[in-house]
Structure 1
Amino acid sequence: MAKAVHYLYNKETRWIGGERLVNQTILVSDLDGTLLNKDQQISQQNMAAIRIFRELGGIFTLATGRMEAAVAPFIKELNLDVPVILYNGARIYNPITHEVLYDRHLPLTQELWQQIMNRLTADIGLFVYRNGQVYTPNRNQLVVEHEEKDKVTCSLLTEMTVMDNITKLLLISSDLNKLKAIEQLVQDHGVPHEIVYSEWNYLEILPPDVSKGNALQALLQILSIQNAYTMAVGDNLNDISLMRSADRGYAVANAHPDLKKAADDVTIHHEQHAIAAIIKDYFIEQGVTLDEPFGDSASDGENCRRND
């Protein structure tokens, strides 16, 4: 018989099936295409599941390619009090103290910067992230659409010289050949860097050794939780390192095929409240019955398919 956890009035209970403490469990979620729905919102089902998970002592946080300003509304909505992973792993940020706990920069040279600028056309949007701000040399339609999506405003680059303290470069285009040409240009130049595609048409140039997975390991050191059990969920290629770094990695059903291969489990579509399904399935596997349902996303332990 499953063990009932009466979390509303028995919050001191922390054991999961007699095996693992909930307050040693960390769930890290991507935002776009994972936690957020198509309207860029967190569903009530996901909100309820995260609340219960945290009330039981679990730690929930985010790992996203977004910058501080673009995650601030969701941090507030979730009332997060633990550090979040930003810029695809280049920065770890404390939303309570606004302190940067982990920071990496791209060693961009003037020569490479000028060559990238020379490749820009009207169908490429370029974003330069530095010191918590975002800049663009040309506010074209791609830039405007990205500003609307992330609810940020780019400052216009007036100086064409390379800047220091660059956190990442983002290039957006529907012409993949042009993105691949810029990717090859960076590779040939020899500047230490990492390349990742956070969406099919989002090319990100990151500092060397930067990934969500490496940032997760840095976060564990920051939190200093002994014997922490980590779960991670994502949808795209920039989440592969997160899958490999976590003890258990989940890909949503709408994820890139390569991410599904890297994950331990494949859960339901993000529009079906995947985070709620993962949390409930996790509790069910540990023999726990919750007193409060999560809503329409509730599963019977069948929403996640394990990759063998």
Structure 2
Amino acid sequence: MVDRLPRGEITAKELALADIKLVVADMDGTLLNEAGLVPDRFWPLLAELTKRGIAFVPASGRQYYTLLDLFDRHPGMLSYVAENGSMVMHDGALLSSSNVDPALVRTVVETVRTTSEDRLRLIVHRVDGAFIESEDADFLAHARQYCVRLDAVEDQLAIPGDVVKLAIYDFADAEHAASSIFAPLVGEHQLVVSGQHWIDITAPGTHKAQGVQALQRLLGVGPENTMVFGDYLNDLEMLDAADFSFAMANAHAAVAERARFRAPSNADEGVLTILRRLLASR
């Protein structure tokens, strides 16, 4: 196992000695470019990773079906850690999911409805899709970026079935809303600020690391065989699941402190840069 202290750029020797069998990458602010797309130059690297038996896993707060769309150019099957770990998919099948307590769902829905200043919106996520009450045009533009299966309903509390995630959009400041409005409500549930305007609430103990570890067990790999890339607060736990953890140059300060290595920014295709170096070293 490598030294976990943050240390900057990875060396050629460390890459040459690394026995990487699993690569996990966050999407927004990490792999995706500033247009929210997978860079064209990534696809040959993904093909080469697959050829060499290295599994690539997208890990995101995004909906599973949105991730499928992002990677539809890949001819094979990928595993996915979706909804910030609330859904883990392998070979097109649900490997695991976790559910938010219905009482908390009600509390959050009612809180969003009654909060003053009309600054909050809510997406209720299930395994099979996501649901909104608001059809505000500005909010819809953001919501559809992350949810390709999205339906408008009159009452989110009338939706049958288990809820895997509550995603709150704050037009102002998500970090402030998380601490002042929602943290006192969630109890043991997981609350994370997943972007400048997004707050995600999931079941207790649910985060991306949980999904990464489930896939590690399934694939028979350990942290010493795992490389992870992230940029924001919802990536913190999964950095600990890999000996080769990278913070993007554009990462939140807490992520930069937690990760062992640094990668160039997503705008500079930092994930691709490290993957090219990894493949060239082998």
TM-score (norm 2): 0.83
CA distance in 1, matches of 2:223, 2:176: 41
- Aligned residue runs from structure 1 range 206-221, under 5 A: 206-221=202-217
- Aligned residue runs from structure 1 range 82-93, under 5 A: 82-93=78-89
The AA in structure 2 aligned to 1:255 is: A
The structure where helix makes up a greater share of residues is 2
- After superposition, the Cα gap between the structure-2 partners of 1:137 and 1:225, relative to the gap in structure 1 and judged at 3 Å, is same
Percent identical among aligned pairs is 19
How far is 1:251 from its partner? 1.1
Aligned to 1:132: 128
The AA in structure 2 aligned to 1:128 is: V
- Aligned residue runs from structure 1 range 1-308, under 5 A: 25-94=21-90, 96=91, 98-109=92-103, 110-119=106-115, 122-150=118-146, 152=148, 154-159=150-155, 161=157, 163=159, 164-176=161-173, 180-181=176-177, 183-189=179-185, 191-225=187-221, 229-283=225-279, 287-288=281-282
How far is 1:134 from its partner? 0.8
Q: Render the CA deviation track for 1:152-177: whole Å, top value 9, x for unaligned.
A: 25312223536541111111123227
The AA in structure 1 aligned to 2:121 is: G
Are the equivalent residues in 1 in contact too, given 2:22–2:221 (CA < 8 A)? no
The number of aligned residues is 265
How far is 1:21 from its partner? 5.0
How far is 1:272 from its partner? 1.8
CA distance in 1, matches of 2:99, 2:156: 19
How far is 1:68 from its partner? 1.9
Query: Larger C-alpha radius of gyration, 1 or 2?
Result: 1
- After superposition, the Cα gap between the structure-2 partners of 1:152 and 1:244, relative to the gap in structure 1 and judged at 3 Å, is same
How far is 1:258 from its partner? 1.3
Structure 2: which 5+ runs fail to align?
1-14
CA distance in 2, matches of 1:283, 1:180: 42
Are the equivalent residues in 1 in contact too, given 2:178–2:193 (CA < 8 A)? no
Are the equivalent residues in 1 in contact too, given 2:256–2:262 (CA < 8 A)? yes
- After superposition, the Cα gap between the structure-2 partners of 1:122 and 1:152, relative to the gap in structure 1 and judged at 3 Å, is farther
CA distance in 2, matches of 1:235, 1:253: 8
CA distance in 2, matches of 1:44, 1:78: 12
How far is 1:133 from its partner? 0.8
How far is 1:147 from its partner? 3.7
TM-score (norm 1): 0.77
Are the equivalent residues in 2 in contact too, given 1:128–1:170 (CA < 8 A)? yes
- After superposition, the Cα gap between the structure-2 partners of 1:28 and 1:180, relative to the gap in structure 1 and judged at 3 Å, is same
CA distance in 1, matches of 2:177, 2:64: 30
- After superposition, the Cα gap between the structure-2 partners of 1:162 and 1:222, relative to the gap in structure 1 and judged at 3 Å, is farther
Residue 123 of structure 2 aligns to a residue in which SS? strand
Structure 1: which 5+ runs fail to align?
1-15, 289-308
- After superposition, the Cα gap between the structure-2 partners of 1:43 and 1:112, relative to the gap in structure 1 and judged at 3 Å, is closer
Residue 199 of structure 1 aligns to a residue in which SS? coil
- After superposition, the Cα gap between the structure-2 partners of 1:184 and 1:162, relative to the gap in structure 1 and judged at 3 Å, is farther
CA distance in 1, matches of 2:88, 2:228: 16
